[in-house]
A and B are shown apart, each in its own frame.
Chain A
């Protein structure tokens, strides 16, 4: 790569043509079959989420529609996933429920990041007593199993989908604070941060230009892995009864109502469960793949 300028004269090194493709992340993802499969699964569910009401054969079944004569039918060509205790088409409800689950995941992750990332960056960058305070607060939150804490918060906020979302965000942010804090802690001692300081850069400049952009990789990896977990947590809250309320078409809630009819109509729990399983699996596979690509420490050399 270096030019042959070992002599005293200053020869200008010419840049050889760039060979690297810009879409390296995309290319590497294509190569990793498992995570590409994960991505396909997620894309599939995203399409369901967007076009759900048009795909579902009985979109009116999303709410409290009752067709007593059709209740508890087993899967057939008419009702692919069977019907539930109110006679509603489970396939339609699973498809329409995708939007709820994905939306909760995205919004909860967004709120989580909004709280967690700034706190982590500030704690890690400034260090000292501020860091100590923030970290002890995260310790308090992390001392409880997240589901128990989320349940408590959701109950206090009045059970419902929105409180479930808020409850999950409020229990989840410490993980992001810790992640970003750790990154910031090591980044603030990097020479390029020192150089910026010597140029008289403000702290805000350093945080926004140097610290945060270099945290993005691990944040994306974590977010994609957490999407699955958060969807699972929302379903769990729905199942317990402190999340989505009937008659909403929400996977966790659907499993919860199906529980009573488990012996006679197992399809009521099986298909929403399958949907949860597939989305969580998709996000986990994608997250694992992204970790290999974006996190240089785990990258095979």
Chain B
């Protein structure tokens, strides 16, 4: 099945994506540059969930903002259904982009506190100039597992999980092909997290959607995603099928990250505790970005940026010593 899916064309193709936040002087000289996302590439296939994991500040949310068109790109291309949608000042691109929707991290902030659920779910249609009646709203609510009575509620009358369901319903109203899930469960209680994850899985099956799941919660990524990219300081350090990467991570950073997932037989496993903090994205280390914290670091790591290398089973990692 994996083979078959891989043969189809990717729905979303990201190549050399970069986002630098630059502070310019009055004369236009760049004073400081923050490399939030620095040259990342990945593909998302139809019906697939693609995960992006990493610590906070690694650039995964910036990536989500670029995919959703809320940030402009410094460099690189995003191709959606074979159409380049990188330049979203273009009108045709704007139309195309509507098929990419997003579910936000904070369910409280994702709904306008002054709009009832009905108005929130009506909004996508109003904006597009489509006339729909109440039954469409009921239908959307039903998909996300809420009864029609909820449409007369204000957001403050809903629980966190219910708000997130409304957020999902609003995204679905646009009839999207790709939904970007930016930490969709991190603001929720654990039992509610499971409900939302199940809901998202069901909807994906029903509508044949693709998800880009941005998360720092590795267990969520493991349950939901088929393939995953691990980000560190604005770069993807390792990428591949979830099962492979979780079973045998190749990059030292991934190893360290995954060794800290709590498991039941915790004593048997050795945890890798990294030394030091993540460097600031405005002062990125030379060579391999991970070298100041890496226990394998050699002279070459300080001087040369490692390229992505195939590590078998569809995985690739950016480390000079992956073969070991």
Cα–Cα distance between A273 and B175 once the two chains are bound (Å): 65
Cα–Cα distance between A10 and B143 once the two chains are bound (Å): 9
How many of chain A's residues have a CB under 8 angstroms from any CB in B? 32
With an 8 A cutoff between CB atoms, is B34 at the interface? no
How many of chain B's residues have a CB under 8 angstroms from any CB in A? 49
**By the criterion CB–CB under 8 Å, are A6 and B111 in contact?**
no
Cα–Cα distance between A5 and B149 once the two chains are bound (Å): 18
With an 8 A cutoff between CB atoms, is A209 at the interface? yes
Cα–Cα distance between A194 and B123 once the two chains are bound (Å): 13
**By the criterion CB–CB under 8 Å, are B111 and A192 in contact?**
yes
CB distance from A73 to the nearest CB of B (A): 56
A197-B157 in contact given A5-B195, A15-B150 (Cβ < 8 Å): no
Q: Identify which of residues 187-239 in chain A touch chain B, using a CB-to-CB cut-off of 8 Å.
A: 190-192, 194-202, 205, 209-210, 213-214, 216
A-B contact count (CB 8 A): 104
Residues of chain B with a CB closer than 8 A to A202's CB = 127
Stretch of B23-31, B76-84, B93-101 that contacts chain A: B93-101
Mark each residue of chain B from 164 to 208: 1 if its CB lies under 8 Å from any CB of chain A, else 0: 000100110010000000000000000110110011001000000
Residues of chain B with a CB closer than 8 A to A198's CB = 68-70, 97-98, 100-102, 174
**By the criterion CB–CB under 8 Å, are A196 and B147 in contact?**
no
**By the criterion CB–CB under 8 Å, are B98 and A200 in contact?**
yes
With an 8 A cutoff between CB atoms, is A12 at the interface? yes
With an 8 A cutoff between CB atoms, is B109 at the interface? yes
With an 8 A cutoff between CB atoms, is A298 at the interface? no
Mark each residue of chain A from 12 to 36: 1 if its CB lies under 8 Å from any CB of chain B, else 0: 1111001010000000000000000
With an 8 A cutoff between CB atoms, is A1 at the interface? yes
Q: Identify which of residues 96-132 in chain B touch chain A, using a CB-to-CB cut-off of 8 Å.
A: 97-98, 100-102, 104-106, 109-115, 120, 123-124, 127-128
**By the criterion CB–CB under 8 Å, are B127 and A6 in contact?**
no
CB distance from B241 to the nearest CB of A (A): 24
**By the criterion CB–CB under 8 Å, are A2 and B202 in contact?**
no
Cα–Cα distance between A20 and B152 once the two chains are bound (Å): 12
Cα–Cα distance between A205 and B70 once the two chains are bound (Å): 17
Cα–Cα distance between A114 and B127 once the two chains are bound (Å): 26
With an 8 A cutoff between CB atoms, is A8 at the interface? yes
**By the criterion CB–CB under 8 Å, are A195 and B113 in contact?**
no
**By the criterion CB–CB under 8 Å, are A14 and B147 in contact?**
yes
With an 8 A cutoff between CB atoms, is B159 at the interface? yes
CB distance from B220 to the nearest CB of A (A): 16
With an 8 A cutoff between CB atoms, is A11 at the interface? yes
**By the criterion CB–CB under 8 Å, are B109 and A190 in contact?**
yes
**By the criterion CB–CB under 8 Å, are B70 and A194 in contact?**
yes
Which partner residue on chain B sits nearest A17 by CB separation? B149
List 5 tightest A-B contacts by C-beta distance, closest first.
Answer: A15-B149, A191-B110, A191-B104, A1-B159, A213-B114
Residues of B within 8 A of A (CB): 68-70, 94-95, 97-98, 100-102, 104-106, 109-115, 120, 123-124, 127-128, 142, 145-147, 149-150, 152-153, 157-159, 161-162, 167, 170-171, 174, 191-192, 194-195, 198-199, 202
Residues of A within 8 A of B (CB): 1-3, 5-6, 8, 10-15, 18, 20, 190-192, 194-202, 205, 209-210, 213-214, 216
Besides A12-B147, A201-B127, 13 other CB < 8 A contacts? A1-B162, A2-B159, A10-B145, A13-B150, A192-B109, A192-B110, A195-B167, A198-B97, A198-B102, A199-B128, A209-B123, A214-B114, A216-B114
